[in-house]
Every structure is written in structure tokens, then in C-alpha cells.
Amino acid sequence: MSSQSTQEIAHAAARIVVEEGLEYGPAKRRAAKQLGLSTRDLPDNDELEEAVEDYLAVFCADTQPAELLALRRLAAVWMARLAEFRPHLTGAIWRGTATRLNDIHLHLYCDDPKSAEITLLNKGVDYDVGSVPGPRGESVDRLSLTVRCADLNEAIGLHLTILDRDDLRGALKPDSRGRTERGDLAALQKLIDATSASA
């Protein structure tokens, strides 16, 4: 059972996540600071995700589904372009809580870690290289670029995390709620088709 403080932080953080597009970790810490509460009371990601879903249902029901669909369609385009690297969508767009403020996060499972960079260079695509923690605790490269989303008439960030092909084996384990953290193009297309049919 969550404490009152944890629930307060979750609701405040959910507003920050939705209204500003902030990642979960920074949003939780900022919410605790704004409320004058201890970071010992931070909600876990599942609790925050539930609060985000509640916030979207109350405040963004008219706009969020269409924005999510546009982002998923754009992600599918890039997954098809990068199909040789076994792309998997992760983050808020995969989980269904994204708005136009969210970036697209793809995990690429490569035989050669430099092959994705070479492909982008050959396509004339500009990108920046950064690093993020990988599944084994080591740093892995993340390629970041900006792409146009015609449906939203906005520029969207696209982040490609470069992982080893062997990492794909453990990538689809379900979480505590029975959901996977990421999905391939076929799984994404099912979500798009289901959303399009109900729109």
C-alpha cells in the first residue's frame, strides 16, 4: 500500500510527465522537491505510470489518442527503414502513455555496433552520439536525431540505442503487470491497427 506522500508525488510527477514530456526519474524528483516531501517516498515506475494513465484519461482524452497514433506511425516508418537492425520500440510510445511531447525510443540489436551509424551516414542523416547505461551495466551508444512528424506538424526526437544482438534474448521478458518493455514492428503494427479501427 502506497503512503499518502508517495501518492501525492505520483500525481504531481504525472502532471510533469504529461505536460512537459519529462522522463520518470527527473519528474519524480522534481515533484518531491516541489511538494517538500522526502525522496524516500518516491513512487516506483508502475505507480507513476498508473498516475500518468489517470491524468491522461482526465485531462487529455480529446487529444492524446491521436497524438499517440501519429507517433506510433512515425516510429513504424523508422523501424521499417532500420529493419536490418531488429528495431524494438520502447518507452511511453510503446506503453501507450505518450503525447506529442515524447520522443521515440528504439532499441537496435546489431551484429556490429557501428553498422547503424554507417547506415545513417549513407542515408545522409545527421545525428548526435551519446551514451546510456546498457542492459549489462556498461555504457552503450545512443544515436539521437530529429525527424519530422507530418501528422503532428512537429519535429520529434528519435533516439536509437545500440545494443548487441545477443541482448535481444532477454529483451521481451514481461514486467510485474505482464507487459513487455518493448515490441518489434509486427507488435507495433497490431497496436496501430487496433487503434485505427477504434478511432
Of the three residues 21, 42, 59, the one that is the final residue of a domain is 59
Assess whether 118 and 177 both reside in one domain.
Answer: yes
Q: What integer pLDDT is reported at residue 54 of this predicted model? A: 96
CATH of the domain at 69: 3.30.460
Task: Tell me the residue range of the domain where 73 lies.
Answer: 64-198
Assess whether 104 and 117 both reside in one domain.
Answer: yes
Domain count, the chain: 2
Query: Can you give the pTM of this predicted structure?
Result: 0.89
Assess whether 125 and 152 both reside in one domain.
Answer: yes
Is residue 161 classed exposed, middle or buried when 0-12, 13-18 and 19+ CB atoms within 10 A define those classes? Answer: buried
Q: Which residues lie closer than 8 Å to 88 by C-beta, 6 or more apart?
A: 106, 107, 109, 168, 171, 182, 183, 184
pLDDT in tens, 101-152: 999 999 999 999 899 999 999 989 999 999 999 888 899 999 999 999 999 9
Q: How many residues does the chain have?
A: 199
In this structure, what C-alpha cell is assigned to residue 173?
Answer: 521478458
Assess whether 44 and 93 both reside in one domain.
Answer: no
Assess whether 31 and 72 both reside in one domain.
Answer: no
Assess whether 185 and 92 both reside in one domain.
Answer: yes
Assess whether 86 and 132 both reside in one domain.
Answer: yes
Over residues 5-34, mean pLDDT: 94
Of the three residues 34, 59, 84, the one that is the final residue of a domain is 59
Assess whether 48 and 78 both reside in one domain.
Answer: no
Assess whether 37 and 71 both reside in one domain.
Answer: no
Assess whether 159 and 179 both reside in one domain.
Answer: yes
Q: What integer pLDDT is reported at residue 3 of this predicted model? A: 86
Assess whether 27 and 74 both reside in one domain.
Answer: no
Is the CA virtual torsion 169, 175, 176, 179 positive or negative? negative
Of the three residues 33, 59, 85, the one that is the final residue of a domain is 59
Amino acid making up residue 35: L
Assess whether 134 and 101 both reside in one domain.
Answer: yes
In this structure, what C-alpha cell is assigned to residue 78?
Answer: 523508422
pLDDT in tens, 51-93: 999 999 999 999 999 999 999 999 999 999 999 999 999 999 9
